[in-house]
Amino acid sequence: MKTRLTWLVVLLCIVVVCCEAQDNEVVGTSRLDSMQYLRNVTVYGIRPYSEVVPAQRLTGKQLEGLNSHSVADAIRYFSGVQIKDYGGVGGIKTVDMRSMGSNHMGVFYDGIQLGNAQNGQIDLGKFSLDNIEEISLYNGQKSDIFQPARDFGSAGSIYLRTRRPKFAQGERDHLNVTFRTGSFGLANPSMRWEHKFSRHVSMALNAEYTYATGKYHFRYRKLFSDGVVAWDTTAVRNNGDIGSFRAEGALFGVMTDGRWNAKIYYYDSEKGIPGAIVNNVWKTAQRQWDKNFFTQGMFRKKLAERYELLASAKYARDYMRYWNPDTTLMYIDNKFWQDEVYVSLANKYTLARDWDVDVSVDYKWNYLNSTLVNFAKPTRHTALAAIATAYSWRRFKGQASVLYTHVNDRYTSQSGETVVKRHDKHLNKFTPAVFISYQPWLEHDLNFRAFYKRIFRMPTFNDLYYTDMGNASLRPEYATQWNVGAMYQHYNDESWFNALHLSADAYYNIVDDKIIAVPKGTGQYRWMMMNIGKVKIRGIDLTARLAFRLPQSVLIEGGLTYTYQRAQDYTHPEDCLDGGTYKGQIAYIPWHSGSATLHGAWRDLNVNYSFIYVGERYHNSANILANHEQPWYTHDLSASYEFKWRRVACKVTAEVNNLFNQQYDVIQNYPMPGRNYKLILKFDI
């Protein structure tokens, strides 16, 4: 054995000496014990494919180029996503992925989920992009088993990652000041300050104020059933004003084999609720006040060669007041208070080089109080435990997990001032998930992937306990997901054709025991919640991104997304006659939708174009002409220029949104703004 090893070493030495003798650019005498200088070498290779099912992502320059002010505006450019937008700067904006309902979506802020036990809706319009570094969207769940158990509990997830301070050598402070103004009386100043305490600890403070009148012109056109125009007029959208303040502070720390962060967040707003344009009512007086506070922290450290720990904790306090002074409908002045406490512990152990296991345990406590008469004052205790494993073998990757969920609800039913009974309900569920991917050829970055997941969502406090509307007997709403897809990537920094990314996914989802509101009695304002829904969803998501690097430092990047969905209501098989809902496309889900983005850069000048298309759809599962909604699309355009003024980096951006002034509704009778403008000034010190 020693003889063979000796000859191998001698052979390698001879090869090295011969190669160096032929190289004219070797400096000095070729000695094996001396330092040798070689010409520059370019190494080509495939970028590692780390995720089983990769996320759709928007980062950095992409986010800045989308003419988007809020997170909801940016998410519209992902495939398979529908945004419910009630119009205006302060209008409520929620997201629905693959037609499963917005309550099946998990929204995570710096790794910890945002909660709303009251109605399950996360208003993404509240979150500005000023402090967001990356938005990631996952179907099924995040492709990382080392995460809290709560992360396994959604049919789809959106991860919002805030900006983390980065300092060059010798830097200790960064200051960014931004001011936006434009249509609808918009005034939006914001400030971000970053400070480096030491090599290991830094901080960031971010504050923003938004004011807008929300007034914009819109065209209102209504047709009779025979196609004759009933009326066609132009009006002004009123009661869409907003005044909001957001402040965030964060500490970031690094240590040997670990890191930690702590965050505090506060949001305070007052806004008008424009309401639907029906029965010639052009102005409403409803208003809403929100105060949201949370503090959270995460600690991650490798404690041994094979063991890593992730600990998370959060406390949140939310206040909401809804006021409707219109006595012709019903005078309402309701106030709600929510509290949430959340703790999590995740443990990852490496069994072998390509085999990891994770055990995560979470606990969450929710409480809701209200000024409503005979309110149930529900309390919910939720315990979650997840066991997950990830395995890689050559070009195969696989992940599997099982999530155990225990829910305990406690609430009071009352009659007048007399307490009737204190109730206690329990639920225990196991839900599995399996994800796999395979790369057939090492030299080509082509990957095939598939996943299966079974998950459920608990009814919200409003679904169960809202006075005279809730139904305490509701069952959870279940979603079953199947997905197969493929992705191809190509990168070449030495060619004018810089990058290509293609992906395609086909999916089939079933939502059982869907929770819907149905009329209760004959009064149009009396409703109750029931489990009577079943929806089957078949769809295809396609995405494409490419980049060109042309002479004279010209960079061109483009992106396309397309979604086809057939989301049908299978609730009542007997309701299959004309005008029935059986097998009808469910409300507000288009068959076809997509987006296109184009970015061009030359030196300090950037130009961005974006296009969104939403095809025909119905506002009811009864797919009849009276419920038909026309397609809509928007074109947005922006240009920015960066320059230095003394030591200040300046950037000026001008935007035109809805360039061709299309009149459209995302939700029926909630008209959206026409052409509008925005000017943005940024200063980095």
pLDDT band at 379 (very low <50, low <70, confident <90, very high): very high
Rounded (5°) CA angle 517-521-527: 25
Q: Please tell me what DSSP assigns to residue 71.
A: H
| Token code pair at residue 165 | 């301070």
CA-based nearest residue to 77, from 502, 611, 537? 611
Distance (Å, whole) CA 281 – CA 239: 12
For 310, the 3-state DSSP assignment is strand
Q: Give the residue carrying structure tokens 């909660």.
A: 115
Average pLDDT, the chain: 85
Handedness of CA 217, 590, 489, 437 (dihedral sign): positive
Tell me the residue ranges of DSSP E strands in 197-306.
201-212, 216-223, 229-237, 242-255, 258-272, 287-302
Question: Residue 474 in contact with residue 458, Cβ under 8 Å?
Answer: no
| Token code pair at residue 179 | 């001011």
Distance (Å, whole) CA 519 – CA 464: 16
Distance (Å, whole) CA 638 – CA 66: 8
* pLDDT given for residue 60 in this prediction: 76
Question: Residue 231 in contact with residue 279, Cβ under 8 Å?
Answer: no
* pLDDT given for residue 198 in this prediction: 93
Distance (Å, whole) CA 471 – CA 463: 6
* pLDDT given for residue 1 in this prediction: 41
Query: In whole angstroms, how far apart are CA 531 and each of 76, 201, 351, 472, 528?
Result: 30, 51, 44, 11, 10
pLDDT of 28 higher than 70 = no
pLDDT band at 16 (very low <50, low <70, confident <90, very high): very low
CA-based nearest residue to 88, from 672, 501, 675? 672
* pLDDT given for residue 481 in this prediction: 96
Distance (Å, whole) CA 226 – CA 415: 51
Cβ contacts of 545 within 8 Å, gap of 6 or more:
499, 500, 501, 557, 558, 559, 560
* pLDDT given for residue 42 in this prediction: 39
| Token code pair at residue 51 | 């995720």
Query: In whole angstroms, how far apart are CA 200 and each of 250, 300, 409, 444?
Result: 14, 14, 43, 40
* pLDDT given for residue 551 in this prediction: 87
Q: What is the mean pLDDT of the segment spanning 373-389?
A: 93
* pLDDT given for residue 362 in this prediction: 97
- Express each pLDDT in 84-113 by its tens digit: 777 767 677 788 888 888 888 899 999 999
Q: What is the mean pLDDT of the segment spanning 285-302?
A: 94
Q: The whole model's pTM is what?
A: 0.86
Higher pLDDT, 94 or 426: 426
Higher pLDDT, 416 or 314: 314
Query: In whole angstroms, how far apart are CA 105 and each of 348, 354, 641, 676?
Result: 25, 31, 37, 31
| Token code pair at residue 218 | 């819109």
* pLDDT given for residue 638 in this prediction: 93
Higher pLDDT, 425 or 16: 425
Higher pLDDT, 491 or 194: 194
Q: Give the residue carrying structure tokens 């991917």.
A: 437
Distance (Å, whole) CA 241 – CA 320: 17
* pLDDT given for residue 432 in this prediction: 96
* pLDDT given for residue 225 in this prediction: 66
* pLDDT given for residue 128 in this prediction: 80
H or E element at residue 12? helix 2-21
Handedness of CA 12, 15, 20, 21 (dihedral sign): positive
> Residue ranges of the domains in the chain?
1-41, 56-684
pLDDT of 41 higher than 70 = no
Segment among 1-15, 229-243, 346-360 with least mean pLDDT = 1-15
Q: What is the mean pLDDT of the segment spanning 314-324?
A: 95
pLDDT band at 4 (very low <50, low <70, confident <90, very high): very low
Task: Quote the CATH superfamily of domain 56-684.
Answer: TonB-dependent receptor, beta-barrel domain (2.40.170.20)
| Token code pair at residue 162 | 């805030």
Q: Please report the DSSP string for 542-570 in residue order.
A: EEEEEEEEETTTEEEEEEEEEEEEEEEE-
Q: Parallel, antiparallel, or unpaired: how do β-strands 105-109 and 156-162 relate?
A: parallel
pLDDT of 212 higher than 50 = yes
Q: Please tell me what DSSP assigns to residue 99.
A: T
Q: What is the mean pLDDT of the segment spanning 129-150?
A: 90
Question: Residue 218 in contact with residue 671, Cβ under 8 Å?
Answer: yes
CA 447 to chain centre: 24
Distance (Å, whole) CA 430 – CA 582: 31
* pLDDT given for residue 594 in this prediction: 94
Question: Residue 149 in contact with residue 344, Cβ under 8 Å?
Answer: yes
pLDDT of 326 higher than 90 = no
Q: Which residues on neighbouring strands pair with residue 681, listed in sequence order?
A: 179, 652
Tell me the residue type at 634: T
pLDDT of 426 higher than 70 = yes
CA 583 to chain centre: 29
State phi, psi for 24 to the nearest 5 degrees. -75, -15
State phi, psi for 89 to the nearest 5 degrees. -65, -40
- Express each pLDDT in 399-409 by its tens digit: 999 999 999 99
* pLDDT given for residue 600 in this prediction: 93
Distance (Å, whole) CA 157 – CA 455: 13
Q: Please tell me what DSSP assigns to residue 70.
A: B
Question: Residue 410 in contact with residue 378, Cβ under 8 Å?
Answer: yes
Q: What is the mean pLDDT of the segment spanning 178-193?
A: 94
- Percent pLDDT > 90 in the chain is 52
**Residue 211 class from Cβ within 10 Å (0-12 exposed, 13-18 middle, 19+ buried)?**
middle
pLDDT band at 420 (very low <50, low <70, confident <90, very high): low
* pLDDT given for residue 520 in this prediction: 52
pLDDT band at 530 (very low <50, low <70, confident <90, very high): confident
Q: What is the mean pLDDT of the segment spanning 196-204?
A: 95
- Express each pLDDT in 460-500 by its tens digit: 888 888 766 777 788 899 999 999 999 999 988 777 888 99
Distance (Å, whole) CA 314 – CA 295: 6
* pLDDT given for residue 30 in this prediction: 38
pLDDT of 135 higher than 70 = yes
**Residue 641 class from Cβ within 10 Å (0-12 exposed, 13-18 middle, 19+ buried)?**
middle
Distance (Å, whole) CA 179 – CA 380: 42
* pLDDT given for residue 61 in this prediction: 75
Query: In whole angstroms, how far apart are CA 651 and each of 190, 603, 644, 685?
Result: 14, 13, 9, 12
Distance (Å, whole) CA 50 – CA 437: 10
Q: What is the mean pLDDT of the segment spanning 413-441?
A: 83
Q: Parallel, antiparallel, or unpaired: how do β-strands 156-162 and 173-182 relate?
A: unpaired
Rg (CA), the chain: 28
Distance (Å, whole) CA 149 – CA 383: 9
* pLDDT given for residue 542 in this prediction: 96
Q: What is the mean pLDDT of the segment spanning 528-551?
A: 88
